Chain A
Amino acid sequence: GNSVTQMEGPVTLSEEAFLTINCTYTATGYPSLFWYVQYPGEGLQLLLKATKADDKGSNKGFEATYRKETTSFHLEKGSVQVSDSAVYFCALSSSGSRLTFGEGTQLTVNP
Chain B
Amino acid sequence: DVKVTQSSRYLVKRTGEKVFLECVQDMDHENMFWYRQDPGLGLRLIYFSYDVKMKEKGDIPEGYSVSREKKERFSLILESASTNQTSMYLCASSSHLRDRGQTQYFGPGTRLLVL
Contact = CB atoms under 8 A, between A and B. Distances in A.
Interface residues of A, number: 21
Nearest to A103: B42
Given A89-B42, A103-B40, A103-B42, A97 B102 contact: yes
Contact of A42 (B41, B58, B105, B109): B109
27 contacts: A32-B101, A34-B101, A42-B109, A43-B4, A43-B106, A43-B107, A44-B43, A44-B104, A45-B105, A45-B106, A46-B104, A49-B101, A49-B103, A51-B101, A89-B42, A93-B101, A93-B102, A96-B102, A97-B102, A97-B104, A98-B58, A99-B43, A99-B45, A101-B42, A101-B43, A103-B40, A103-B41
Interface residues of B, number: 23
